Amino acid sequence: MKKTYLLTVLVLVFALALSACGCKHETWIDADCITPKTCTECGATEGEALGHAWTDATCDAPKTCETCGETEGEALGHAWTDATCETAKTCETCGLTDGEALGHDWQDATTELPKTCATCGATEGEKITTDPRFATAATAEVQGKWVCEAPMSAAELGLEGFEGDLTMQIIMDLGNDGTFGISFGIADEEAFNSAMTDYLVKSLYAEFEAQGMSKEEADEAMKLAYGMDVQGYAAAAMSGMSFGEIMGMADIKLVYYVEGDEIFLGTDWNAELEPTKYVLEGDTLTLSEDITGTSADSTVFTRMTE
């Protein structure tokens, strides 16, 4: 009996020594998600671990503990819907976008349909109202810009003695609304402008010479009158002038419609519209009439690519 008592005491003392060990638990490590508050000296613990504070997985982050940053599983990934005319590629879950909206693929209004998006069918405005003789469908093939390069002689353009390329460009613009435009240009506008300046200098000196004046006297006279010598005057006169402006060729505005193999042209719908036969072969449009002012039998146009 006495022996058992002693053993019990010894066990108690031993247990006390183990647990108390004289440690006063003076420094604690705070509890975290997985470990309770713990004594730095003896490792004794108090209370419970806090447990993770999970936030749900999102498109680009897995399920994550707000406290310690631990993750579980994978991010969901975005649930993309394709871009449309008006909306960029968008995640249905989080609303994130990638890139831009495609934009509408607008087709011009016709006499049959308003301006219409070829992709989504959206429309804008009204269909074209014009003279009933003009129908978009009948003119669809010939619509657009056409160019004819017509080599002109200096004499034809009233520029005797001009040295330079005079390949004139006649541009027809067959509209989708019954308008028919004709404008004039030159293949190399810059080269033409420079040659035209030289031509003007030559012509001016020739005129002064006819009055018995030397080049030096001509320059002096021009300086007195305009503050520039002949060269300066010519350059200023030609500066920024287009071929059409220099030649006094204004743009022409007509109306048209197509019937069979004829284009009917006139100054306006009330005027008498004159037919001109045409042949369309691929990107070549041949008018049976010469509209270049040269002596050709017909005029061949090629489609302009912009």
Q: Is residue 116 part of the contact set for Zn ion (CB under 5 A)? A: no
Pick between residue 16 and residue 250 the one whose CB is nearest to Zn ion: 16
Binding window for Zn ion (CB under 5 A); candidates: 40-48, 131-139, 208-216, 223-231: 40-48
Q: Is residue 49 part of the contact set for Zn ion (CB under 5 A)? A: no
Q: Which position among 65, 75, 101, 304 is part of the footprint of Zn ion (CB under 5 A)?
A: 65
Q: Which position among 38, 78, 183, 291 is part of the footprint of Zn ion (CB under 5 A)?
A: 78
Binding window for Zn ion (CB under 5 A); candidates: 66-74, 108-116, 192-200, 244-252: 66-74
CB 176 within 8 A of CB 128: yes
Q: Which position among 81, 93, 214, 294 is part of the footprint of Zn ion (CB under 5 A)?
A: 93
Q: Is residue 91 part of the contact set for Zn ion (CB under 5 A)? A: yes
Binding window for Zn ion (CB under 5 A); candidates: 78-86, 251-259, 274-282, 298-306: 78-86
Q: Is residue 302 part of the contact set for Zn ion (CB under 5 A)? A: no
- Secondary structure (DSSP) of the chain: -HHHHHHHHHHHHHHHHHHHTT-----EEPP-SSS-EEETTT--EES------EE---SSS-EEETTT--EES------EE---SSS-EEETTT--EES------EE---SSS-EEETTT--EES------TT--HHHHTTT-EEEEEEEE--TTTTT-TT--S--EEEEEEEE-TTSEEEEEEEESSHHHHHHHHHHHHHHHHHHHHHHTT--HHHHHHHHHHHHSS-HHHHHHHHHTT--HHHHHT---EEEEEEEETTEEEEESSTTSPPEEEEEEEETTEEEESS--SSSS-SSEEEEEPP-
| Token couple for 203 | 């012509």
Q: Is residue 68 part of the contact set for Zn ion (CB under 5 A)? A: yes
Kindly write out the interface string for residues 121-160 of this chain, putting x where it contacts Zn ion by CB under 5 A and - elsewhere: -x--------------------------------------
Q: Is residue 202 part of the contact set for Zn ion (CB under 5 A)? A: no
Q: How far apart are CA 218 and CA 221, in angstroms?
A: 5
Pick between residue 84 and residue 167 the one whose CB is nearest to Zn ion: 84
- Least Å distance, CB 35 to Zn ion, is 11
Binding window for Zn ion (CB under 5 A); candidates: 6-14, 67-75, 249-257, 258-266: 67-75
Q: Is residue 237 part of the contact set for Zn ion (CB under 5 A)? A: no
Q: How far apart are CA 27 and CA 286, in angstroms?
A: 101
Pick between residue 7 and residue 21 the one whose CB is nearest to Zn ion: 21
Q: Is residue 81 part of the contact set for Zn ion (CB under 5 A)? A: no
Q: Which position among 83, 117, 221, 237 is part of the footprint of Zn ion (CB under 5 A)?
A: 117
Q: Is residue 174 part of the contact set for Zn ion (CB under 5 A)? A: no
Binding window for Zn ion (CB under 5 A); candidates: 72-80, 174-182, 268-276, 278-286: 72-80
Q: What are the φ and ψ backbone dihedral angles of 236, each rounded to 5 degrees?
A: -65, -40
How much is the CA Rg of the chain, to the nearest whole Å? 45
Binding window for Zn ion (CB under 5 A); candidates: 113-121, 195-203, 231-239, 249-257: 113-121
Q: How far apart are CA 159 and CA 197, in angstroms?
A: 12
Q: Rule CB under 5 A: which residues touch Zn ion? A: 23, 25, 33, 39, 41-42, 44, 52, 59, 65, 67-68, 70, 78, 85, 91, 93-94, 96, 104, 117, 119-120, 122
